[in-house]
Every structure is written in structure tokens, then in C-alpha cells.
Structure 1
Amino acid sequence: MREQAIGAEILDWYDANARILPWRIAPGDRLAGIAPDPYRVWLSEIMLQQTTVAAVKEYFLHFTTLWPSVTDLAAAEDAAVMGEWAGLGYYARARNLLKCARAVVAEHGGRFPTTEAELLTLPGIGPYTAAAIASIAFDRPAPVMDGNIERVMSRLFAVEEPLPTSKPVLKAHAERLTPQGRPGDHAQALMDLGATICTPKNPACGICPVMRNCAARAQGIAADLPRKLPKKAKPTRLGYVYLAQRADGAVLLETRPDKGLLGGMLAFPTSDWSEFPTEAPPLEAAWEDPSAEVRHTFTHFHLRLALRVAQVGAEVQPSRGVFVVRDQFKPSALPTLMRKAYDLGRGTLGHN
């Protein structure tokens, strides 16, 4: 069968060309009987959601040094985990990370379930992540569908229907291609193939291990696939961000609500984010306007926050948030948006 030939070619290529990643068991080691750690597979998959491998590597190594097992992570303080996650983005992942770790410990004795159906019952684990853990950690033949694999499937089988409407067709192709033997290595091989050879632009078809079986290459349309429906233009929201410092150097911060963007993260107080925001300073002060604007882009909109800065006395009480003394204030624990605000306002605050 064509699928069996393709699968064999992909695995042969992977055995010789697998990427070395800190959460991965090399194919040779796996064939020698070394099993992946489900905790590390799960953690890497959560971190890799909408984030590049290059950005995740350092965070993964840091997290697994601080919390080397799911039991360790489950026992960690929320603020510590959120602080170490700062800068990685999509902060709901960090909240769900803790919920999931605690559910694994409380409901499964510290051992991850082995099937997609059971994994889907855990917080923060959706269809893709469940399939990835079941396949990579437990060698179950679950088709794993990330952006790389969707691209490989669309080209291999010349699927011209645009994403996202073509997702069911691409998954059906992936299911037929997934072997009963070594399905975890097969999934990672497809990821690597998409990341290194079958790339979005200028795919290296000449060195692809399955070029003879690629329908899109035969038709001369590989570089045009996958087709995608036009994206809607992102709206822009506006607002204000407030940097207040006491005479002793303490900085005003608040913990954002658990639900919503930057949920549970330390942040400078802000106004609402909308088309017509209303100023909402967290305390009475002579707020300065340094004519600076923080710009940031989220998944669904662009954000522009006008900066306001104030130096206040020790007697001032904020309506929300608390003053954090200077030696306990860690800009690195702030999400990227708030670090941008700090970098813009640090000169006015007198921070070097």
C-alpha cells in the first residue's frame, strides 16, 4: 500500500535526522527501550501551543529544573509558576498547567492517563494535546494534527480545499498514514518533516524522503498548499496603563483576575481596553503623560496603551493593587505587555 511505503520512508528519514529536543527521547534510545516521560511530553506540548520551539527550549529546561515531576509542579505556588511563565504568552496555559498537574496527582495518583479519552478529561488538554501525549508518551496510534502535520498532509495528498475547512480531510489522511508500530516516532517524524523540509515557504522538495509519493509535488503546487481562507482584519483596542512609584522605590502592581487576558499575572493597573477607553487611575496623584504608548498584539486584536506615570508619597493608598518594595520587584516576572510598559516608563521612575 502507498500509505505503508510512505510511513516506512518517513520513519527511516526520522531515524537519521530527528531533531534533538530537551523533551524528546531520540529514536535510537526509544528503540532500545527507553520510554518518554509523560510529564515532560505534556509540559512541552502545553508550552509549544502557538509558541516556537526556539522560544520554548529555555522555559522547558527552567521549569523541569524547578519542578522535575508532575507532583512537584502540583505542589508549587500559583504565583511562582505564573512568574516563571512570564514572557511565554497565552497565560491561560499556565493556569491550566497547575490545574492539570493537581488533577493528575489528586485523581490519578500522579500518573498521566494513557488514552485520548482519559486525557481529554484533564484541564487544559484538548484534542491535539491528548493525541500528542497518547501517541508520543504511550505509543498509541492517535493521529496528531498540528500546523506542520496539516501542511505535510495537504501537500502529500494535494488537498486544495482551504484551511480550516479541510481539517477533517487532513485528519482522515493522517489516520490512514499512522502505523500501528512506532506511532509516537511517526508523529514526531511528521512534525520534524514539516518544520525542516516541508516548510511554509520554499519547501525543500528535492531532499524530501517522500517526494516520489507527494501528489502536490507531482502537480507542481506544493508551495501553494495548504490554501487558507482570508483572515479577518484585527481590530485595535485602546487604553491606559499606570506606573506609580512611592518615594521609597516601591512600585504599584496588581494581580489580574483569573479569567481574561493575562489572567492571574502580576501587572501594572490599567483602564479598560476598548475603542473608547475611560481613564481609571488606581490612586489620586499628579499623573504625568510622557507621550509614550505601549503597543502589543494579541491573537484577536491589537492593543495600544497610553502610559501614565506618577511619583507618590508613602501615605497614598491605592484603590486597587499593592505596592511591592523595590528589592522584591522583578520586571522579569511581568508578562511581555507589562515589561514593555516598564521599559517605557523606567526612566521617569528613575530606574536604570
Structure 2
Amino acid sequence: MDPNLKLSSYDYFLPQELIAQNPVIPRDSSRLLVVKPEEGIDHKIFSSLPDLLLPGDLLVLNNTRVIPARLYGKKSTGAMVEVLLVEEKYPLCWLALVKPGKRFSMGAEIVFEDEATGAYLKATVVDKDEATGGRIVEFTVGNRVSFWDVLDKLGNIPFPPYVTQSEALPSQYQTIYAQKQGAIAAPTAGLHFTEDVFNRLAEKQVAIAHITLHVGIGTFRPVEVEDILNHEMHQEWIEVNQETIDKIKETKSRGGRVISVGTTVVRALEGTFAHHNALMPYRGKTNLFIYPGYEFKVIDGLITNFHLPKSSLLMLVGALIGRERLLSIYQRAIEEKYRFYSFGDAMFIAPKR
């Protein structure tokens, strides 16, 4: 079998102490590993990013906003329950992961309340989701009360499962340009950006565009089949509007470079192209699986964090620079003690042109 199609070919050993538990302050003081187009790497600080880009380049960012999706409540029996909201099916109805899940049959009720603020929610289990093992829950809120306002009072921002000893504030797991509510995980490549970086990008005449991809639970789900062609990619909701499409076309028409800020932007842009087989706006779901051998249609470069072993995100980055080179760079990053994963350092894969 082609090694690029074997799950075991995307494994590497990461010392536990290199899993970042807290973000650096300020955000743009994180390290930036620069992957040169042909060979070699450089070690920079993220605040130097504007110096690495060219006038006329276009950065595309994901403006999704992480919601306080983790809730703690009680069953009618008094038993404590943890609920993670995964995806809004329609207003007040959500796919959720419930702990302990096996005890939740149809009609089971969970109450969430905060006596200090008077915030109150009730959820009723109305269905089961076979694909995730989760439950479909329908919320009841009081009259003249917004669900989102109550969720802000009762919910907690869900940090990734490998962040176990963090002192980070919820705002530190949110990009400074986050706008559209719906994600349960941050588009972490964007966490490094500051107003100062954006101001210097503007001075350099680097353009900015946005897409929306609401990061879901699938981001943390490992690939579990050795032949990755048998992997069933999770779906994520995306929106790429006409303004962003126009900016991409304009950039490409004058020889500029389109640089994706994060793997979520890659999936959104390439998924949009795959849906139409052309650069056109799209609003819907994508389950595009990108791995070595994929020919990129939209993006030229990528800013990203370091990803988990055997993950679809690692395969996506391997598609851009080659699996063997990627793993060699990861090994070097480990030797240089880069900080990994969501609160960790960044990598800039410079375009080939």
C-alpha cells in the first residue's frame, strides 16, 4: 500500500510537556516556524509575519466564534450531567454529547440553572444520533428571554481534551476577529493575530477576507482505519460569500497569493470549489477529505498550528508539502521545543511563488 494512504504513516511521538496548556502573552509573541518553498526552515516570532508576506497577498481567516457549549446540569433524579452542544439543528434544538449518555432515553429532562443570576434552561431528549452516540435535545427558555443570553450565563467555553491544566481565560480561546457564533472549538491558527499585526499587514498592502466554518466535534475525532481511503470524513458547516470569492479572483488575476489562516479555511475554500468545480459562493456543508495526492485549487500558502498524530488535519498539511517532509519538520520542531496544539506555536508554509 502507498505509505501516504496508511494511517500509521502519520504517527509521531510528542513529549507530554510540549502540549501547550496556556497561550503566550501577547498573542503574537508565539514562535513561528517558516517552511520555505523548496527546502529548509526558518525560526521566527509570529509578530514578524507581515515581513514574510508580499504586497497584494490575500489572507483568508475564519470568523467563527466559539460558543459556551459545555453545560453542567441535573436530571430529575438529582444526578449531575455534563452536556456538550455540538451542532444546532434548528432554533432551540441541538445535537449534544451527554455524560453519562447511556442513561438518557427519550423524554429525559435536564435542568441547568444559576441561582445567582436566575438563569434557567431545561433540555428534553427528543432523539438519539447513531453517528455520534449523542442525543438530540430541545431547550425550553422563559418568556422574552434569549437562548443565547442564557447560554452565555450558564455555559462554559470548551477547551480541547488535551488542555487539562489551563489557566487561560475564555477570551484567550477566541480570535480577536470572531463574529459568527457556532463553533465548539477555536480556529487556532487565528489565535496569534493581534491588532498590531493587522495594522502592519494593512501597511504592507496585504488584503484580508473571511469565511465561516463552525468547527465541530469531528476536529478531535481521530482517523481509526489503517487505509485512510476508508475514513468517513465528518461534515462541517461553511459559508464562503461573494465578497470573499471576488477578493480571491482579484488576487489571482494580478498574480497575488492566497494564504489560508488555518486548516478550517483550507477546507472551506477547497470544499467550496469542490462543490461547484469553480470559484463560486457556497453556504452548506462540506466533508472534503484532503490528503497527499490532492491538488489544491484555491490556496497557495498556509498558516497553521501543529496537529495531533494520525489526524486528518496532519494529512491535510501533508498534502501541501509532502508527508515525509512534514514529519521531518515536526521532528525538528520537537527538538527545538516548539509548543504544540491549540495554545501552541504556529507554522507558516510559504507559497511556492
TM-score by length of 2: 0.25
User: Over alpha carbons, which structure has the higher Rg?
Assistant: 1
Question: TM-score with structure 1 length normalisation?
Answer: 0.25
Larger RCO (CA within 8 A; separation ≥ 6) = 2
Q: Which has more strand, going by share of residues?
A: 2
